[in-house]
Amino acid sequence: MNICHVNLASGFSGGERQTLQLLKQQVREGYQLTVVMNPKSQLVQEVRKLGCKVVLTKHFTKTHSKKITQDCSLIHVHEGRAIYWALIQHILHGTPYIVTRRIDNPLKNKWLSNLAYRKASALVGLSREIVKQIEMLHSAKKIVKIPSSPVSYPIDQNKVDQLWNEFRGKFIVLHAANMLKHKGFDTTVKAAKLLGVKNPRVQFLLLGDGPERKELEQQCRGLTNIRFMGKQNDMGSMFAAADLLVHPSYTEGLGSVILEAMAAGLPVIGSNAGGIPDIIDHGISGLLCEAGNAKQLADQIDQLENDKALRHKLKTGAKEKLKQFDIAYTSKLYRDIYTQVASQPI
């Protein structure tokens, strides 16, 4: 099967890593892939390694021609701007398209967005919350829930040993995300302040960068139990060195970093928001806290630091839960949609 994937993001964050994960699986399964991307994205270099046909464009209004998709069964859209590229290609050359939506924000009720979603042959949400948001404006469309799958990373044992030596005797808690308001770093900082007194064994490492970092650093003045580590290119080693991942977002499409941490063998705490409850069954595959509740988060971290049996139980539950997010399984779900769309008359 020949599929044209489109992701026009200029960065390389969770959505791009999830796109790449699916591309790798489909290459293994024998798909012929064309991938339309932003030349500024690191995704380009990663996709070139796969031997896919690469098409570069800086804007959704550019780089349209019949030959790009003439041999493709359909276009698979992976982010917001890409849907408009697919819409134009569909209008000009008749290629059908499906949309994977990764964020749980309400959809824009504007004519162009409505048109783009209405013209799609199928709509996919990563979580129940995303599906719910799509249904509010497009209930008549075929909407399917297909989660993303965890990405695995290599481990540099020297880096792990270095971290263990630097934080010897500490219970290392990670919060890894772009430093945006909705990612809940303020809740983690408040929890760190509470635990600085209650449990000084807990050491927070904040991974990532973004517009909120400066303000967060101001809030952390004088705290010795929290460290800003910056954007990471070695997440495998960070996961291997840590004892726990927290992700207390106010809103979240699914939470790919939670899946990655679980796959790496870490217990997790996430907020009861967005798609996170699709991953975390409270007390079974992780713990859920209410978004913005720093005291509850601090209490749960303290509980896990003191309860090795609970940590083991959550790791075991997470391993079982991850079967629902296996890349071979999610790829099969996409293949079913591709087959249905390709069989429809244009």
**CATH label of the domain that carries residue 212:** 3.40.50.2000
Separation between Cα atoms, residue 80 and residue 199, nearest integer Å: 43
Q: What residue has token string 């988060």?
A: 297
DSSP state at residue 285: T
Same domain as 166, residue 108:
no
Please list, in sequence order, all residues whose beta carbon lies within 8 angstroms of the beta carbon of residue 298, skipping any fewer than 6 positions away: 190, 191, 194, 195, 198
Same domain as 186, residue 101:
no
* Sequence-ordered strand ranges (E) for 43-130: 53-56, 74-77, 97-101, 122-125
Same domain as 317, residue 252:
yes
Asked if the model's pLDDT at residue 141 lies above 90, the reply is no
Q: Classify residue 115 by burial, with Cβ atoms within 10 Å: 0-12, 13-18, 19+.
A: middle
pLDDT at residue 172, rounded to an integer: 98
Mean predicted lDDT score pLDDT of the chain? 96
Counting Cα atoms < 13 Å in the Cβ hemisphere of 69 gives 26
Same domain as 128, residue 10:
yes
What pTM does this model have? 0.91
Separation between Cα atoms, residue 80 and residue 13, nearest integer Å: 14
Same domain as 113, residue 70:
yes
Separation between Cα atoms, residue 213 and residue 334, nearest integer Å: 37
Same domain as 242, residue 128:
no
Specify the amino acid at residue 88.
I
Please list, in sequence order, all residues whose beta carbon lies within 8 angstroms of the beta carbon of residue 223, skipping any fewer than 6 positions away: 189, 192, 193, 196
pLDDT at residue 278, rounded to an integer: 97
> What mean pLDDT is predicted for residues 268-297?
98
With H, G, I as helix, E, B as strand and everything else as coil, classify residue 161. Answer: helix
Q: What residue has token string 């390389």?
A: 12
Contact 280, 270 (CB under 8 A): yes
Separation between Cα atoms, residue 103 and residue 254, nearest integer Å: 8
With H, G, I as helix, E, B as strand and everything else as coil, classify residue 71. Answer: coil
Same domain as 166, residue 122:
no
Asked if the model's pLDDT at residue 299 lies above 80, the reply is yes
Which pLDDT band, with edges at 50, 70 and 90, does 346 fall under?
A: low
Asked if the model's pLDDT at residue 219 lies above 70, the reply is yes
Same domain as 85, residue 161:
no
Specify the amino acid at residue 239.
F
Range of the domain at 274: 157-324
Same domain as 170, residue 53:
no
Phi, psi of 62 (to 5 degrees): -110, 165
Which pLDDT band, with edges at 50, 70 and 90, does 345 fall under?
A: confident
Q: Classify residue 30 by burial, with Cβ atoms within 10 Å: 0-12, 13-18, 19+.
A: exposed
Identify the sign of the CA torsion 133, 137, 138, 139. positive
> Distances in Å between the alpha carbon of 127 and those of 38, 40, 255, 278?
26, 29, 10, 6
Please list, in sequence order, all residues whose beta carbon lies within 8 angstroms of the beta carbon of residue 246, skipping any fewer than 6 positions away: 173, 174, 175, 188, 191, 268, 269, 270, 297, 301
Same domain as 181, residue 64:
no
Which pLDDT band, with edges at 50, 70 and 90, does 186 fall under?
A: very high
Same domain as 212, residue 115:
no
Q: In DSSP terms, which residues pair with 158 in a beta bridge?
A: none
Separation between Cα atoms, residue 25 and residue 328, nearest integer Å: 7
Contact 256, 150 (CB under 8 A): yes
Asked if the model's pLDDT at residue 15 lies above 70, the reply is yes
Same domain as 172, residue 130:
no
Number of helices followed by number of strands (H, E) in the chain: 15, 13
Specify the number of domains making up the chain. 2
